[in-house]
Amino acid sequence: SLSSSLSRSPSSSLTHTHTHTHTHTHTHTHTQRELSGSPGGGVFGDQEKTGGREALDQVQGIPGNKQCCDCGEPGPDWASINLGITLCIVCSGIHRSLGVHFSKVRSLTLDSWEPELVRLMCELGNTAINRIYEARIDEITIKKPHPSSPRGDKESWIRSKFVEKKFIQKLPETGRNIPLRRSSARRNRANTQERPAGSRPPLKPKPNRATLPRLPGLNQSDLLQKNNTGIHKDGEDDEEEDLSGLHPGALLYRSAALQHFPVMADALAHGADVNWVNTVEESSTPLIQAVTANSLAACEFLLQNGANVNTADSNGRGPLHHATILGHTG
């Protein structure tokens, strides 16, 4: 359950070290933050885990995931769990060297995988993440590495891409550091893997769309739709919510409520504070919004990216309290 999962996430995170030896005769040791005592930072340690081919097949089935996110090597069997991407062995080693505050590396074949972590990986994927972190790839002079490129070229690319964020679209200077008021949007949920992207009906634009800054890396249909459903208010005419005018912290907050994972990732790429506080909505946070939406995967994503499970709202209620009072306990 959501509440029991959060309750197993201590504020004083443990540190766990794995040593993996694989067929390439390299031994990799990596440290990952643990939020529940399960290896690799998962928050659902008591749930049944997936390992071996099952996790690999599920994650590689997501668009773009059959090739390394950074160099295109076929058949990547490593992953960055906070970014939601698959990596070849060379690029995984480079990601590990960045530190877990940038990238948390796990093996798709050697590690066990909690179900919600697999679900999280399936909500993102290389295609979605590269649309954010390589949004300006056609404008830049640096050439993306190939599988046969020297390691130094791959490392330079990865650091430029994820640490310096050279290739993301720059946010316009809007000064829109404005708290959000409560949305009428309902948090609906469906299976994202079973519906092709082209099947989603377009949503009506808001009249002021042209005056709002465009969210870099994502098109307008991304901004106005969740991964799977339209946003509407029960019993009333459809009420769409244009997210494109929000600054990164507010964007993360709203997209967490809507369980829109690519927009959440885009907000973090543009510097959103994962613990951003909405002062006009009872000092709620993105994690509390994800709990309110009853989304284990959204909670997992935020926790993997540093959300504080103990941050309370203005009523003194933290994520666990919200899960309990909302009945999200089974």
The residue with greater pLDDT, 232 or 302, is: 302
Kindly state the DSSP code that residue 60 receives in the 8-state scheme: H
| pLDDT class of 4 with cuts at 50, 70, 90 | low
Tens of pLDDT, residue by residue over 249-281, are 999 999 999 999 999 999 999 999 999 999 989
Residue 308 has pLDDT above 70, yes or no: yes
Residue 36 has pLDDT above 70, yes or no: no
> Which residues in the chain are classed under CATH 1.25.40.20?
192-325
- In the chain, where do the E strands start and end? 14-21, 27-34, 78-80, 85-87, 105-107
Name, in order, each residue with C-beta under 8 angstroms of 38's C-beta and a sequence gap of 6 or more: 44, 45, 114
Tens of pLDDT, residue by residue over 275-296, are 999 998 999 999 999 999 988 9
Distance of CA 112 to CAs 18, 29, 51, 116, Å?
Answer: 12, 16, 5, 12
CB neighbourhood size of 12 (10 A): 4
Helix (H, G, I), strand (E, B) or coil at 197: helix
Please indicate, yes or no, whether the overall pTM of this predicted structure exceeds 0.75: no
Residue 246, classified by CB atoms within 10 Å of its CB into exposed (0-12), middle (13-18) or buried (19+), is buried
Tens of pLDDT, residue by residue over 83-135, are 999 999 999 999 999 999 999 999 999 998 989 899 999 999 999 999 999 99
Mean pLDDT over all residues of the chain?
73
In CATH, which of 3.40.50.300, 3.40.50.280, 1.10.220.150, 3.20.20.105 is domain 9-163? Answer: 1.10.220.150
The residue with greater pLDDT, 19 or 287, is: 287
Looking at residue 328, its pLDDT comes to 59
> Which residues in the chain are classed under CATH 1.10.220.150?
9-163
- For tokens 């808001």, name the residue: 206
Tens of pLDDT, residue by residue over 211-241, are 233 444 444 444 444 433 333 333 333 344 5
Average pLDDT over residues 244-253: 86
| pLDDT class of 1 with cuts at 50, 70, 90 | low
Q: What count of Cα atoms within 13 Å lies in the side-chain half-sphere of residue 39?
A: 18
Residue 10 has pLDDT above 90, yes or no: no
Average pLDDT over residues 155-175: 86
Looking at residue 54, its pLDDT comes to 84
Residue 165 has pLDDT above 70, yes or no: yes
The residue with greater pLDDT, 179 or 137, is: 137
Name, in order, each residue with C-beta under 8 angstroms of 232's C-beta and a sequence gap of 6 or more: 185, 186, 188, 238, 239, 240
Nearest-angstrom CA–CA distance, 272 and 4: 27
Residue 154 has pLDDT above 70, yes or no: yes
Distance of CA 86 to CAs 104, 125, 128, 219, Å?
Answer: 11, 7, 12, 23
CATH class of 192-325: mainly alpha
